[in-house]
Each structure stands twice: as C-alpha cells, then as structure tokens.
Structure 1
C-alpha cells in the first residue's frame, strides 16, 4: 500500500482499500476540480527527486514563460536571506520562484504546505507547515528548522499570506489576505535581510466567485486554475534588499509585516515602460542652450568688494555671502547660469538660457564662494516677506505665483522669510559640506534678523522621479507631515493629479512617519536607488510641515511642496548646529521675551 500511495501523491483515493462509494466520490471530485488532469500531467513527468528538474519539467509541460526584467541580480549568490512574495496563483508561484532561485544558488528552502511533502520532487526542498490549522508542535518544529537553515546562511522562500490571493470585499480588489507575523519574528531572530518579490496576475473570475461562496471552494479550484495557466506569460518584479536595521525602525512585528507587504505591493506599480530619465532627456532637447559663463574677473571683483558684514560664514577657503541685485549684477548672471545648469541635471529648470526672473531684482541672494577657485558653489534666494509686501504687495512673493493664499495667512505667522531656488553644483554634491554651509549661512542671517522665525517656500520633486515615487511621497507627506490649520487656507494654482494607480492602502501610510522609511520605499522604486530629495529631508529634520502641492508649468513640470519651518520649534541641537550655540540662545531668548511681552499686553 505504501508503494501505491507514493505513486499517486496527488490522488484523493490513493488507498485502494477505501470503500467503493468513497473512491467513486473522490474520483468525481478529482474530475470536477481539475485534479484528474493534474495527476495525468504528473504521470508524464520523469521520476526525479531533484526539485530543479521536477519544476523545470512542470513549467515546460505547461508552457509557462516568465520574465523578471533582469532583476535577478538583486538576489545574493550567498549569505542568509529571506525572500517574501505575494501568492496570486497557487503552486505555480513557488515553482517559478524556486526555478529562478536555484539558478542563482543551490541552498534554497521553501516554507510550504505539509501536503506537498508527499511529492518526491518537492519534499527535500520544503520546510512543511500546516496552513489550515495552527498545529503548535508542527509550527515550532518548522520555526526551529528554518532558523537553523538561516543561521547556516541559507535562502528561505516564504509566502506570508499562506493561502492564495482572492477577492477581498473590504478592500474591493483581489489581493493576499493578511500576512502572518512569523516572518518578522524570523527576521529579527536571525538578523536576515529580506528581498520582496511581486508576481503579477490573479486567478480567474470563477475562482474569485467560488471563494466568495466558501473559502474551501478556492482550495477545490486550485488544480483547475493551475492547469488553466498553460501557455501563460508571468511578469515578476524582484525588489531590492531590505536591511534588518531598516526593519527595526518600523516598530513591532505587526508593523514590520505591514511594511514588508507595502514594500512588496509597491513593486506591482513600478513602470516597466519608458524611463523617467528618457522623458527628461527629451524635455532637455527642447530647452535653450545654457548661457556661457560670465567672465570670472567681473563677478570675482564684485564679491571682493562686498561689505565685510555681508559675509555670514567663513570655513577654510569657503565663504557664504548675502547680497542684493544692485550690488552683484555680474554675479547674479553667473548664479542664474549655474542654477539653470544644476536644475536641468535633475530634470528641473526653466528651459531658458539662464534662470533669472523679476523676483531676483528685489530678492536677496545667499551664495557660497570658493575663494581659491573663484567659483560659486551653491546658493539660495531669500525674501523678507514683510518688506516685499510693503513695497510690492502679495503678488510680489514668488510663492504666490504657485499657490493661492491671502494676506491674512501671512499675518497669522508673520514675520516670515521665503526661501527658494536652492542649488549646489553637481561636483560638490558628493558631500553635505555645501548644504551645511548654506544652512549655516541661513542660520547666521536669521541670528542677525531675529524676528524672522518662520521660513517657508517651495521644495521640488523633479521629473527624474518615477510617477509612482512622486505619488507615494506626496501621499506620505499629506498623511504625516501636513500643517493642518494653515493648509486649509492655501490652494495650488495648478493642482497635482496622479498619473498612476495607487498600489497601497492609505491607512498604511501611517507607517511612514520616519522620513528614512519613506526614502527606503522611494529607493526601491527608483532605478538609480535615489531616495527622497535632499532638501525634503533637510526641512523635515528642521521640523518642517507641508501646506500644499502644486505643479510648476514654468519649471519643467516639477511638483512643488510649500513647506513651513518654525525655527522656534526646531530641535535645539539642529539650531545650535546652524546658528552656533550663542546665536541660537540669543534667538530663543529674543522670542521668549516677545512671547512674554505679548502675554503682558493682553
């Protein structure tokens, strides 16, 4: 009898001693479910106990093809790692992934249904679990085996849902059910990195309808669904490695699993079509040629004769100055040239030969000057809101050209300083030196003009980012970093409208209060691994809150987030870093005294 059972591992009635009526009933179920066809296919396979050969034959027999877009390189050739994946189809999910993984490395194990251990070609690659009931002893054994496997630097493939994707009434779509938390426990216990894989597709409508009638009917339909995959092509997206340290930042085991699932499902929306860099290149071809450099001696002389008090920071050969347009006409031309050149390199820019506008004639320029090389390294444009309002009115503010807001909004948080047009030359972007110098310059300027406690201005998401990245960043910032009271008083002049389908549940965005986690998802999406824009990270560290988002038609269609930073609420260590301890103390004392005076007046 043992021999017969082994020869028919897929049969419901392999035991010939079963009652006749029972055997006939099982045969009827096998025929109806498609299991009979599956058995017929199994009998045609060559006897083999080798998983790679076994799965290769099945995939070839079903004529199933797949592609990964060359992302197999994300799978390490050695070292412990956990591969997680969604489970859209059933057994074929594991077969395809095992085939991919075994071509990269031999030490592969799969956490799978214990029923599969009866199949000779599968038994020696799986760590069996009972997915239908929580058999604690079995689960403990499985946990022991897989921990040992990972500690010996093996690869473990897991489908955290445990069962196949199906229509979820609450979510209104076909997707995995809730993922099991055991994966996060394994990750933390073994210190294993995780690589997410998303398998595109789903089972038939009939499968989904049967599942709505009763969950057991989904299981009944799985053999039929497998056989219906004959001749199908499957797209597979392989993500990038997620470190244990990143996962530990997320929270408890439940939050880690929500994060891992989010990370995996984001892969479903990553475009395999035209690269954003291709779009940027085509846009660049329509731009005017950037103006040639101004004669160095002309602007070097202007900077040399700036008043000493306009030098805000000295650091080695670097100087940070502020100046007005009438003091630096040639320097301003060079600033505008470098701005345009730098912005174009990241998919931004005006498209003109130089980035100079009417605002530059009365805004203040803050810039870094390399005294040895006689070159401008980076800069900011500053606008003192009260002074601009007094002379030009609200339309004199650059931000008002992007966002619609009233004078009373400015009065509620006055006095303010508008920041914009931040840039650092490409050759100086490898370190944070230039950005730190710019912010030390801003800190020094504020220390001299203490009343300007609130900074605000646009910060851009360029066209170099994938549509999905931009949508994700904006959703996260709206959920977690919005200034609720003031944001209702501001409207974008050209609202951002998503160009892609959202692949996540809005409720899951609460996981991303840590900007590092936001950046980890963005780098997953981006082909060049870039995270969120550096200035976003900088403003958020300073305590920045977002008010609104707008698409700037005059600046390469970038998405501008209007951000506000109240330096009185900024972390004191950050304030000391950019102002210096003495200046920061003086700044805080000034505003504490003003607050006390205002209370006294009431």
Structure 2
C-alpha cells in the first residue's frame, strides 16, 4: 500500500521548487500533516473496503457523528448533495460513510491531493485546484454524473472561514447547479456542524490581510482533523430542491445562493434545538 510521502507530493505538484525546499521545512510539513500517524492508519486499515476504512479511521480518531433527514429521501433517487464545508476533509468522509450506507454507493468531489489516500480512491471524483484537469479526472467526473450514484459536493471549494466572528462558508460557486441541471439531478442541501480552531481562522484572516494568495492554512487541516478527538457532530439533510424552485430564483449564481441559504437554514434548526435543550 503506497503511503503519504511529503517529498513525493512536492515533487509531483511543484517540481520546480521541490529541490530547493530546505530539509527542516520538509520535516515541519511531515509533522504538521501527521504523516506518520496517517501512514499508520494506512498500514492498519488499507485492506478494508472504503466505507469500513472510513469507519475505522473515525474509531481511531475517537470521533462520532449522526445524520438526520437522510431517511426521507428515495433510496433510488438521483441526487447531488451540496454541503457546507467546516472541516475540509473529515466532513466528506462522514457524509461518504452515511451516503454509502443508505444508497449502497456514493461519489465525492474532492481536491485531487486526497487521491493519495488510496483506500478511498473508489469514492473520489478528483479536481485539480492548482492546474488543468487531466483526462482521467474528466472521465471520472462525466461517468459519475451520468450514473445513478449519489454525488456529494462542497460548492465553496474551500473549508469554512470566520469573518466578523461568524464561521461560515465562502460564497458557493454556481457550477454545481449547472451540473445538476445538465444531469437531471435534484439538489439536496446539507449542513454539517463543527468548527476548526481559533488558530486556523486567525491564520487565514492574517494571510488574507497581508495579501498572500497561497492557502497556507490548508497545511494545518490534517492537524485540525486529529484535534477533533472525542467530539460528536450532527449532520442535517434537507429536502430535495426541485428544478422549478431553482428556475424561479433567476441566474445560476442566484440559484446557488438559494441552495446555500437552504443549507444554512438547517443550522438555524440545530441552534434552536440547542437553545431549548
């Protein structure tokens, strides 16, 4: 089973600069992304099917989660699930587990860096966020949308950020609405509860303030994932949004905004329940 290798990833994604990166930076990266712990997980559980691998990972991390509303959907329906993105990876694994359990299979649109987690490759639809899409990625994309398999997407593209004291997604891009319309899928809004550390949000805001375009805080997402140990998260699944509803919204971007509002209305439900005990 191939393991996570920072040196190899750097060589593949940034070959021009990889040879110039100092050794202490490489060592820091390996610690930050928990390379040894992740490779231990791969050694222990890589022989498991994707869903069982996910469940073993969460048991190892001591993280639990529950989903509400999924039972209201047609198990044979063709859906595109559109979710907020609080964790930048862990949320995709949670939802993949639940969707596979309910529908029998699922696909998740992810950053192609996650293709290095080989046991989960059958579930992933990879997207290269730092370059052009290769033929293999485009083929996976087209095949998934042509199939009856449920698909999960995170339309913000990046995990949630904190602005003016409120943690929420960046604006949702409209591509997912166009894809749903072209493939005849109904869109299901989803809300996953959870937040990352103050450090993560402060770093993100500082990086933005001083004009650095590279998403530095992304490097800390594995560390953020390991820090969730012992926590329980709720996932709320809304009602499918009909094509007629979306057409009435106006432009593609207005339709995307409408679905985003639907997802965040589920957060309000969570807060109301928490307030009343």
TM-score, structure 2 normalization: 0.84
Q: Which runs of 5+ in 2 are unaligned?
A: 12-17, 208-213
Distance 1:147 1:246 in 2: 25
Q: Quickly say closer, same or farther: Cα 1:143–1:105, change in 2 above 3 A.
A: same
Alignment of 1:441-452 (within 5 A): none
1:251/1:147 CA distance change after superposition, 3 Å: farther
C-alpha distance in structure 2 between counterparts of 1:144 and 1:256, whole Å: 26
Task: Give, in angstroms, the shift of residue 256 of structure 1.
Answer: 0.6
Between Structure 1 and Structure 2, whose CA radius of gyration is higher? Answer: 1
Match of 2:124 among 123, 126, 130: 126
Provide closer, same or farther for how the CA distance between residues 25 and 273 of structure 1 changes in structure 2, counting only shifts above 3 A: closer
What corresponds to 1:390 in structure 2? Answer: none
- Give me the whole-angstrom Cα distance separating, in 1, the residues matched to 2:125 and 2:21: 35
| 1:95 matched to 2:99 | no
Q: 2: distance between equivalents of 1:43 and 1:100?
A: 21
Q: 8 Å contact 1:146–1:156 — kept in the other structure? A: no
1:462-496 deviation line (CA, Å, top 9, x unaligned): xxxxxxxxxxxxxxxxxxxxxxxxxxxxxxxxxxx
- CA 1:46–1:257 in 2, change beyond 3 Å: closer, same or farther? same
Q: Deviations over 1:217-239 (max 9, x none)?
A: 31121111010011111011111
Change (3 A) 1:177 1:186: same
1:24–1:178 distance in 2 versus 1, CA, 3 Å: same
**Counterparts of 1:244 and 1:192 in 2: how far apart (Å)?**
9
Aligned to 1:541: none
Kept after mapping to 2: 8 A contact 1:13/1:27? no
Q: Secondary structure at the match of 1:124?
A: helix
Whether contact under 8 Å (2:67, 2:98) holds in the other structure is: no
Q: Give the C-alpha shift of residue 167 in structure 1.
A: 1.5
Please name the residue that 2:110 is paired with. 112
Following the alignment from structure 2 to structure 1, what is the Cα–Cα distance between the partners of residues 48 and 125? 16
CA distance in 1, matches of 2:123, 2:228: 23
* CA separation of 1:117 and 1:40: change in aligned 2, threshold 3 A: closer
How many residue pairs align between the two structures? 262
Q: Comparing both chains, which one has the higher relative contact order based on Cα–Cα distances under 8 Å and sequence gaps of 6 or more? A: 2
> Which of 144, 152, 165 is equivalent to 1:157?
152
Structure-2 separation of matches of 1:114 and 1:195: 24
* Partner Cα separation in structure 1 for residue 271 and residue 101 of structure 2: 23
* Equivalent pair of 1:110/1:157 in contact (CA under 8 Å): yes
In the TM superposition, what are the counterparts of 1:24-39 in structure 2 within 5 Å? Answer: 24-31=24-31, 33-36=32-35, 38-39=37-38
Deviation at 1:161, TM superposition (A): 0.9
Q: Provide closer, same or farther for how the CA distance between residues 271 and 205 of structure 1 changes in structure 2, counting only shifts above 3 A.
A: closer
- Check whether the contact 2:82–2:188 (CA below 8 A) recurs between aligned residues: yes
Q: Name the SS of the counterpart of 2:74 in structure 1.
A: coil
Pairwise CA distance, 1:14: 4.5
Structure 1 match to 2:189: 196
Give the structure with the larger helix fraction.
2
Counterparts of 1:96 and 1:20 in 2: how far apart (Å)?
Answer: 37
Deviation, structure 1 residue 115: 1.2
Matched residue of 1:210: which SS? helix
Q: 1:205 to 1:268 in 2, by over 3 A?
A: same
1:48-447 correspondence runs (5 A): 48=47, 50-69=49-68, 71-133=69-131, 135=132, 137-138=133-134, 145-169=140-164, 172-214=165-207, 216-271=215-270
User: Taking structure 1 as reference, are residues 23 and 42 closer, same or farther at Cα in structure 2, changes over 3 Å only?
Assistant: farther
Aligned twin of 1:525: none
Assess if the C-alpha contact under 8 Å between 1:13 and 1:23 holds in 2: no
CA shift digits 1:508-533 (9 cap, x unpaired): xxxxxxxxxxxxxxxxxxxxxxxxxx
- For 2:99 and 2:189, how far apart are their aligned partners in 1? 13
Distance 1:234 1:269 in 2: 15
Describe the shift of the 1:272–1:219 C-alpha distance in structure 2 as closer, same or farther (beyond 3 A).
closer
In structure 2, do the counterparts of structure 1 residues 185 and 224 end up closer, same or farther at CA, with 3 Å as the change threshold?
Answer: same
SS in 2 for 1:258: helix
The alignment partner of 2:253 has SS state of helix
**CA shift at 1:164, angstroms?**
0.8
Aligned partner of 2:210 in structure 1 is none
The aligned residue for residue 468 of structure 1 is none
